[in-house]
Amino acid sequence: MQVIKADERHIDGIAKVCTDGYWATYGDSYPKEYIQRIVKEFYNADRILNEVTTSNKHWGGYFVAVENGKVLGAGGGGMIGKAAGEIFVLYLDPDRRNEGIGTKILDALTTQQKEFGADEQWVSVGKGNQKGIPFYESRDFIFKYEKQSYGNIEGENFVSLRYYRPI
Ligand SMILES: CC(C)(COP(=O)(O)OP(=O)(O)OC[C@H]1O[C@@H](n2cnc3c(N)ncnc32)[C@H](O)[C@@H]1OP(=O)(O)O)[C@@H](O)C(=O)NCCC(=O)NCCS
The three-class DSSP label of residue 132 is coil
The number of domains in the chain is 1
The tens digit of pLDDT for each residue in 100-143 reads: 999 999 999 999 999 999 999 999 999 999 999 999 999 999 99
List the residue whose alpha carbon is closest to atom 43 of ligand 1.
Answer: 132
CA-based nearest residue to 123, from 147, 151, 152: 147
Q: Looking at residue 153, which CATH number applies to its domain?
A: 3.40.630.30
Best residue among 22, 99, 135 to mutate for probing ligand 1's pocket (most ligand atoms within 8 Å of CB) is 135
Q: Could you read off the pLDDT of 2-15 as tens digits, one per residue?
A: 999 999 999 999 99
Domain span including residue 23: 2-166
Q: Which atom of ligand 1 is nearest to the CA of 94?
A: 39
Ligand 1 contacts (CB < 6 A) are 21, 25, 90-92, 97-103, 123, 125, 129, 131-132, 134-135, 138
Cα separation, 167 vs 131, in Å, equals 23
